[in-house]
Amino acid sequence: MAVDVKKLRGMLGRIADIRSALALLEWDQETYMPPKGGDARASQIATVSAIAHREFTNPELGDLLNELQQQGSLDPDDDFLLAETLYDYERARKLPEPFVEELAQTQSRAFQAWLKARAESAWPVFQPHLEKIVELLQLKANLLGYEGSPYNALIEDFERGMTAEKLGAIFNELGGRQSNLVKEIADTGRRPDLVWLNQRWHEQAQWDFTMLVLADLGFDLEAGRQDKSPHPFTTTIDIADVRITTRIDPRDPFKVISSSIHEFGHALYEMNFQQKDRRTPLANAPSLGLHESQSRGWENLIGRSLPFWKHYTPLLQQHFPGHLNQITPEQVYRVVNLVEPSLIRVDADECTYNLHIIMRFEIEQALIEGKMKVADIPEAWNEKMKRYLCVDVPDDARGCLQDVHWAHAAMGYFPSYALGNLYASQIFEIVQRDIPNLWEAVEEADFEPLRDWLREHIHKHGRRKTATQFVRDISGKQPSSEPYLKYLETKYSKLYGL
Amino acid sequence: MAVDVKKLRGMLGRIADIRSALALLEWDQETYMPPKGGDARASQIATVSAIAHREFTNPELGDLLNELQQQGSLDPDDDFLLAETLYDYERARKLPEPFVEELAQTQSRAFQAWLKARAESAWPVFQPHLEKIVELLQLKANLLGYEGSPYNALIEDFERGMTAEKLGAIFNELGGRQSNLVKEIADTGRRPDLVWLNQRWHEQAQWDFTMLVLADLGFDLEAGRQDKSPHPFTTTIDIADVRITTRIDPRDPFKVISSSIHEFGHALYEMNFQQKDRRTPLANAPSLGLHESQSRGWENLIGRSLPFWKHYTPLLQQHFPGHLNQITPEQVYRVVNLVEPSLIRVDADECTYNLHIIMRFEIEQALIEGKMKVADIPEAWNEKMKRYLCVDVPDDARGCLQDVHWAHAAMGYFPSYALGNLYASQIFEIVQRDIPNLWEAVEEADFEPLRDWLREHIHKHGRRKTATQFVRDISGKQPSSEPYLKYLETKYSKLYGL
């Protein structure tokens, strides 16, 4: 008797439910969980991870996938679903359940330790947890298999088909040209007026301003929320329940704005998956790099543009009465595009950002290849910050403890941010061609044309193409670093009169 | 080879983790979930419920329990654990997994419908969901088996060993004497001064006041939280992560206070389970009636006492500057103990409260026994409100749609509140004997002696005794309605000069 794809969808739906429960446990851990709940949360996450893994690697699912494949003659949606599920299934089968459970438990404890370590700038609090994580990730690479560097096995989770070798070549070019640009800018000796930033920015007003921007951008608050967390992130409980978090700095109102816009970019992608793909692997981006092209694209190409600030500067003035009466949109534009090598990746400007990524990439690769010890991270970090960014790291909280990713056992993730920058610029060249009045619309806070374009060309397709295929189909060219470098060089030459 | 109780604890721990995930899905559904997330949430809850049920009814667990039982010679803790787990296991085995999944899904959808129905006072929005629930509960009663009324099978979930017949007898006496008391009070024509209540009470100040009271009572905010929800409740994610919710009424600051104290009573119970019982069935109360004895006890015996308000009236004055300058603790005491038949159960005074319970009990029994149709609830409700409380119900939102319990498929739950009142009074007679300076301590907001007493005599024992055994061991007598009626008659005779 012919097997039915409905049965597959039923099984996948139940697995999606379990993953949603897991996503909620993780979201709650970073937003509302009381601190003493952390211990039990580690067990809860480990147990539910193991169950999700067990259900997904159930041989019954494998048999069904094989039968469906042999049966053939599926409609195109079912065909994609089958192919993508098989890819995931075969990969997941390589990881035994106890390994998945141990990794989840280790991650969750590492996250608790990282919170404490970062708050106290106490690297030794985090080090043993990270040692365990690196050990488990090396094991994971062996279980998954790889060619070349074992780091490739981890990169595959975030950017299918990408390798450390390819990234090395891309980063080599990016690093060189971006360093030159930063040097040229430094040599001008020009700096925007920053004196007016030196005040205390009311936290509630900052929050309210982000909520206003999110509403304008089109974030559906009936199908999502914004909360606060130590490290901003987006999580999807369902395509109708997508949550972002943000972080407020009372000394700088622009950080929370970029952070909220960045996470909005992720959230919009998730909210735009199609109803018919709901609770299946197709309701996913094909790669994290493409996901970051959306978040980094909204954050930088839109949120750091002059038309954007022509609209929002008067509104900012209303939110902070008396704080910036004399400030023009052009002044805000200069401030949000200040180029200055600095300590914190998430606050880095566009010219230095990828340099933060490159050093993390180098450290991760060395760790996974066994060429660097976890204990040596702080020293390596500080040395690289000095070399690439000419910055002295005052403490580990603002150094190697700043990012949550390693606590989440997410190594191979950072390169996605740089790829996201590249993809975004290459895609936006076409967006600007397709929407000739894009910048007029942005100046009126009308983001609908852009949202529609992104939904039609990218979001709604889910995982039906790879990131490379999307970029190629949209731009007619292979992904390349040229559009990003051109964008940077044009924008900043003008800003700094190079 | 001898089997090990450690293996049992491992299995139970994993089941506890899954139930924690479920508790979080439910907590989030009532606090932070965006409205459009409700549909997917119903599936998520159904799937995770089914998994929890499947893991718990796994024959492997049954075999292990049997082997351990045959093996004998366990230490007393293990002995209790084994007996209580077996009781739960055998009961759970009677319910097939598809039934559990369907009930969970129905409940979750019913909850969404109830929110809408209550907001719009639209009974027809809720009715079909409740019809489905009643049908499933009748089926559940048949699956579980019962003697006498099928309603007994449901009562057993909340109060082991209790029956509709026994409750009928208790409620008969309570109903009669409480009705008489209410009549006598009405006949005096006396009413406390309520004019000063007629103002708008700032919502943030109300919230802040409850947080102050919770801190004094001993609610550990490192191991719990308070949030807002349409219907206040307590949920336990772990004994170190116990969450309560509350509801603010801008027209009355005393509602939120009672509500927070009530849920604190539940939370303290859960927080006081022993570390060694964590993630096992022993970290539970033996019955909901005993649980309610804690919540109703803290809410009423403490939170509506004169010593309590001697301490808190000045603090209330500070929180609402200018609102109650001339008000004395005695005036507040009279207001929080105003006896007046009214529409809403959770706001009912101690004299009328059980009358609300009795009518719900009668409706539930008739529904489960098939003697009343769901469609006839509004009429029956309004008729009973008139008969027992002489109150006209203006709309269903303030009538049969006011409680969340039926949407949660919790029939047989309401009687626990009345039993809680009885148990609380019987226990508090002994508390007052054992802690001679209890009321002086309360007047100084020193709740430690009471907390310690409750932990030692009740909380820490978890499910090691039944509710009846607890009450009997503490008071030396069988549970009875006499202490509660005596408490009511003494307190209110004095208050109303009967």
Q: Are residues A202 and A341 in the same domain?
A: yes
Distance CA A120, CA A118 (A): 5
Best of A11, A12, A14, A19 to mutate (most B CBs within 10 Å, chain B): A14
Distance CA B79, CA B181 (A): 47
Sheet holding A224-228, edge to edge: A224-228, A241-246, A234-238
Q: Are residues B107 and B175 in the same domain?
A: no
Burial of A270 (0-12, 13-18, 19+ CB in 10 A): buried
* Residue B287 phi, psi dihedral angles, 5° rounding: -155, 160
Rg for chain A, CA atoms, rounded: 23
Q: Where in the sequence numbering do the catalytic residues of B fall? A: 263
- Please choose, from the candidates B312, B188, B327, the residue with its C-alpha nearest in 3D space to the C-alpha of residue B261: B312
Position B170 in a domain: yes
Position B141 in a domain: no
Alpha helices in A328-476 (DSSP H): 329-336, 350-368, 377-389, 414-434, 438-443, 448-457, 467-475
Distance CA A497, CA A493 (A): 5
- For position B72, what pLDDT does the model report? 81
Q: Are residues B298 and B376 in the same domain?
A: yes
Q: Is the pLDDT of residue B211 over 90?
A: yes
Q: Which of A26, A263, A270, A299 is catalytic?
A: A263
Q: Are residues B461 and B347 in the same domain?
A: yes
Confidence of residue B3 (pLDDT cuts 50, 70, 90): confident
Contact at 8 Å (CB) between B231 and B404? yes
A227: chain B residues, CB-CB within 8 Å: 32
- For position A206, what pLDDT does the model report? 98
If you average pLDDT over every residue of chain A, what do you get?
Answer: 95
Q: Are residues B92 and B194 in the same domain?
A: no
Each residue's pLDDT tens digit, A286-298? 999 999 999 999 9
A237: chain B residues, CB-CB within 8 Å: 33, 37, 40-41, 44
Coil vs helix vs strand at B353? helix
The answer to whether the Cβ–Cβ distance between B40 and A221 falls below 8 Å is no
The answer to whether residue B33 neighbours chain A at the CB level (below 8 Å) is: yes
- Please choose, from the candidates B443, B493, B203, B427, the residue with its C-alpha nearest in 3D space to the C-alpha of residue B311: B443
Contact at 8 Å (CB) between A321 and A459? no
The alpha carbon dihedral of B102, B107, B112, B116 has a sign of positive
Q: Under 8 Å CB-to-CB from A252, ≥6 apart: which residues?
A: A197, A201
Contact map slice: A 10-29 vs B, CB within 8 A: 13-14, 17-18, 20-22, 24-25, 28
Position B149 in a domain: no
Each residue's pLDDT tens digit, A129-174? 999 999 999 999 999 999 999 999 999 999 999 999 999 999 999 9
Confidence of residue B324 (pLDDT cuts 50, 70, 90): confident
The answer to whether residue B240 neighbours chain A at the CB level (below 8 Å) is: yes
| DSSP assignment string, B279-308 | TSTTSS-S-HHHHHHHHHIIIIIITTSHHH
CATH of the domain at B319: 1.10.1370.30
Reading the block at residue A481, the tokens are: 């670093």
- Please choose, from the candidates A481, A433, A437, A498, the residue with its C-alpha nearest in 3D space to the C-alpha of residue A175: A481
Each residue's pLDDT tens digit, B270-288? 999 999 999 999 999 999 9
The answer to whether the Cβ–Cβ distance between A238 and B32 falls below 8 Å is no
Q: Are residues B273 and B366 in the same domain?
A: yes
- For position A326, what pLDDT does the model report? 86
Coil vs helix vs strand at A90? helix
Q: Are residues B113 and B255 in the same domain?
A: no
Long-range contacts of A476-484 (CB under 8 A, 24+ apart): A477/A426, A479/A419, A479/A422, A479/A423, A479/A426, A480/A422, A480/A426, A481/A170, A481/A173, A481/A174, A481/A422, A483/A422, A483/A425, A483/A426, A483/A428, A483/A429, A484/A174, A484/A421, A484/A422, A484/A424, A484/A425, A484/A426
Q: Are residues A333 and A401 in the same domain?
A: yes
Contact at 8 Å (CB) between B123 and B374? no
User: What does the pLDDT average to over A382-410?
Assistant: 96
Nearest CB to A25 within list B24, B36, B46? B24
Q: Is the pLDDT of residue B20 over 70?
A: yes
- For position B169, what pLDDT does the model report? 95
Q: A424 or B322: whose pLDDT is higher?
A: A424
- Domain range for A80: 5-126
Q: Is the pLDDT of residue B1 over 60?
A: no
Position A151 in a domain: no
Distance CA A406, CA B149 (A): 58
Domain count, chain A: 2
The answer to whether the Cβ–Cβ distance between B37 and A237 falls below 8 Å is yes
3-class SS shares of chain A: helix, strand, coil, % to 5? 70, 5, 25
Query: Last residue of a domain, which of A126, A152, A183?
Result: A126
DSSP letter (8 states) at residue B384: H
Distance CA A116, CA B74 (A): 41
Each residue's pLDDT tens digit, B349-407? 999 999 999 999 999 999 999 999 999 999 999 999 999 999 999 999 999 999 999 99
The answer to whether the Cβ–Cβ distance between A222 and B51 falls below 8 Å is no
Q: Give helix B123-144 / helix B377-389 axis angle, nearest 10°.
A: 90
Reading the block at residue A406, the tokens are: 């390693």
Alpha helices in A222-349 (DSSP H): 253-271, 288-296, 306-319, 329-336
Coil vs helix vs strand at A249? strand
Burial of A124 (0-12, 13-18, 19+ CB in 10 A): exposed
Q: Which residue of B has its CA nearest to A32?
A: B225
Q: Under 8 Å CB-to-CB from B163, ≥6 apart: which residues?
A: B147, B148, B149, B152, B155
Each residue's pLDDT tens digit, B333-360? 999 999 999 999 988 999 999 999 999 9
The answer to whether residue A448 neighbours chain B at the CB level (below 8 Å) is: no
The alpha carbon dihedral of B485, B487, B492, B493 has a sign of positive
Displacement of CA B344 from its chain's centroid (Å): 15
The alpha carbon dihedral of A178, A182, A183, A184 has a sign of positive
Q: Are residues A74 and A215 in the same domain?
A: no
Contact at 8 Å (CB) between B123 and B407? no
Q: Which residue of B has its CA nearest to A14?
A: B47
Burial of A261 (0-12, 13-18, 19+ CB in 10 A): buried
- Please choose, from the candidates B175, B168, B123, the residue with its C-alpha nearest in 3D space to the C-alpha of residue B406: B123
Position A432 in a domain: yes
- For position A2, what pLDDT does the model report? 63
Coil vs helix vs strand at B228? strand
Q: CA-CA distances (angstroms) from residue A176 to A349, A355, B104, B389? A: 17, 10, 58, 82
Distance CA B419, CA B57 (A): 31
> Dmax of chain A from CA atoms?
76
Q: CA-CA distances (angstroms) from residue B323 to A243, A328, A384, A463, B318? A: 40, 46, 62, 60, 9
Nearest CB to A241 within list B13, B24, B33? B33
The answer to whether the Cβ–Cβ distance between B17 and A220 falls below 8 Å is no
Contact map slice: A 36-65 vs B, CB within 8 A: 36-37, 39-41, 43-44, 46-48, 51
Position B12 in a domain: yes
Coil vs helix vs strand at B198? coil
The answer to whether the Cβ–Cβ distance between B17 and A240 falls below 8 Å is no
Q: Are residues B124 and B171 in the same domain?
A: no
DSSP letter (8 states) at residue B238: E
Contact at 8 Å (CB) between B44 and B25? yes
- What ipTM was reported for this prediction? 0.94
Q: A339 or B230: whose pLDDT is higher?
A: A339
Q: Are residues A224 and A287 in the same domain?
A: yes
Contact at 8 Å (CB) between A231 and A247? yes
Position B154 in a domain: no
Contact map slice: B 257-286 vs A, CB within 8 A: 278-279
How far is B363 from chain A, CA to nearest CA, in Å?
35
Q: A–B: how many Cβ contacts below 8 A?
A: 124
Q: Is the pLDDT of residue B326 over 90?
A: no
Residue that is written with structure tokens 């027992």 in the block: B388
Reading the block at residue A270, the tokens are: 């998730």
Contact at 8 Å (CB) between B414 and B405? yes
Burial of A43 (0-12, 13-18, 19+ CB in 10 A): buried
Q: pLDDT > 70: what percent of chain A?
A: 100
A46: chain B residues, CB-CB within 8 Å: 17
Q: Under 8 Å CB-to-CB from A189, ≥6 apart: which residues?
A: none
- For position B117, what pLDDT does the model report? 97
Q: Under 8 Å CB-to-CB from B1, ≥6 apart: which residues?
A: none
Nearest CB to B237 within list A17, A37, A279? A37
Query: Last residue of a domain, which of A126, A150, A180?
Result: A126
A225: chain B residues, CB-CB within 8 Å: 32, 34
- For position B375, what pLDDT does the model report? 98
How far is B336 from chain A, CA to nearest CA, in Å?
32
Each residue's pLDDT tens digit, A66-97? 999 998 877 899 999 999 999 999 999 999 99
Query: Last residue of a domain, which of A78, A110, A126?
Result: A126
Contact at 8 Å (CB) between B111 and B388? no
Confidence of residue B2 (pLDDT cuts 50, 70, 90): low
Contact at 8 Å (CB) between A337 and A353? no
Reading the block at residue B174, the tokens are: 């309570």
User: What does the pLDDT average to over B405-410?
Assistant: 95
The answer to whether the Cβ–Cβ distance between B279 and A43 falls below 8 Å is yes
Q: Are residues A101 and A172 in the same domain?
A: no
- For position B73, what pLDDT does the model report? 75
Q: Is the pLDDT of residue B439 over 90?
A: yes
Alpha helices in A196-305 (DSSP H): 203-217, 253-271, 288-296
Q: Which residue of B has its CA nearest to A241?
A: B37
Q: Is the pLDDT of residue A375 over 60?
A: yes
Q: Is the pLDDT of residue A1 over 60?
A: no
- For position A288, what pLDDT does the model report? 97
The answer to whether residue A221 neighbours chain B at the CB level (below 8 Å) is: yes
Nearest CB to A24 within list B25, B34, B39? B25
Distance CA B60, CA A175 (A): 58
DSSP letter (8 states) at residue B147: S
Q: B24 or B75: whose pLDDT is higher?
A: B24
Contact at 8 Å (CB) between A422 and A481? yes
The answer to whether the Cβ–Cβ distance between B32 and A222 falls below 8 Å is no
Reading the block at residue B386, the tokens are: 């008139």
Position B150 in a domain: no
Coil vs helix vs strand at B407? coil
Reading the block at residue A149, the tokens are: 């560097």
